[in-house]
Amino acid sequence: MITVAISRGRILKEATGLLRKAGFSVGGISNGSRKLIFEYPKDGIKILIIRPTDVPPYVEYGAADCGIVGKDTLIEEKYDLYEPLDLGIGKCKLVVAGPKGFNLSSARILRVATKYPRIAHEHFAKKGISAEVVKLYGSIELAPIVGLSDVIVDLSATGETLRKNKLVEIETITNITARLVVNRVSMKVKSNEIKGFIGKLKHVREI
């Protein structure tokens, strides 16, 4: 049996749909459930439902053999993992957003609110913009409204949340999708099982 850690939220819904298409009978999983471990002996998999930022460490340290998590989480922190497959789910963009008409070059030191401080630092450094980054864990869109920051760096799928908070996308940093990651030791010890798992997901990904 292989253990798969999946980030809760939007990716969980799309990932379970993908697993079902691949022939896994992953019933009973929902974002509203308080149950965190689901075992499917006939399919040879056990699923852990955890926070997105916890998926890579669970996989890296061997608590899970594989994980499904957004590329944004993998970019923000450096992990020693295999990343064999772009699953093409959880599509969104990592963007810089701010009040309409705001010019990035107008601020001598740009203040940026985000839960992606490393990505934000690197992005603005490449552009030659001095940036002070304020790390937040939620309600990112509120920061420019109350004067905590000039702009934000955050995920945007449809732009609806930005519009509701009277913010606009200024630029896209990168496109994001969910990726399959694999523990390096598990890839050797459970090679056949994991390769079979990857093969099934790759097949439905390409349909």
Following DSSP, what letter does each residue of the chain receive, concatenated?
A: -EEEEEESSHHHHHHHHHHHHTT---TT--TT----EEEETTTTEEEEEE-GGGHHHHHHTTS-SEEEEEHHHHHHS----EEEEE---S-EEEEEEEETT--GGG-SSEEEEES-HHHHHHHHHHTT--EEEEE-SS-TTHHHHTTS-SEEEEEESSSHHHHHTTEEEEEEEEEE-EEEEE-HHHHHHTHHHHHHHHHHHHHHHH-
Look up the domain containing 17 and give its range: 2-90+177-206
Q: Same domain for 100 and 165?
A: yes
Q: Same domain for 184 and 169?
A: no
| CATH code of the domain covering residue 100 | 3.40.190.10
Q: Same domain for 75 and 139?
A: no
Q: Same domain for 201 and 101?
A: no
CB 178 within 8 A of CB 90: yes
Q: Same domain for 101 and 161?
A: yes
pLDDT for residue 188: 97
pLDDT per residue of the chain (207 residues) written in tens, 0 to 9: 999 999 998 899 999 999 999 999 988 887 777 889 999 999 999 999 999 999 999 999 999 999 999 999 999 999 999 999 999 999 999 999 999 999 888 778 999 999 999 999 999 999 999 999 999 998 999 999 999 999 999 999 999 999 999 999 999 999 999 999 999 999 999 999 999 999 999 999 876
Two structure tokens written together for 25: 């009978």
Q: Same domain for 129 and 199?
A: no
Q: Same domain for 171 and 186?
A: no
Q: Same domain for 195 and 172?
A: no
Two structure tokens written together for 88: 């093409």
Query: To 10 degrees, what angle do helices 10-21 and 191-206 make?
Result: 100
Number of domains in the chain: 2
pLDDT digits (tens, 9 = 90+) for 130-141: 999 999 998 999
pLDDT for residue 207: 65
Q: Same domain for 153 and 124?
A: yes
Q: Same domain for 15 and 71?
A: yes
CA distances in angstroms from 3 to 49, 198, 207, listed in the order given:
11, 13, 25
pLDDT for residue 32: 76
Bridge-based pairing state of the strands 131-135 and 110-114: parallel
Q: What are phi and psi of 100, to 5 degrees?
A: -60, 135
Q: Same domain for 85 and 130?
A: no
Q: Same domain for 11 and 82?
A: yes
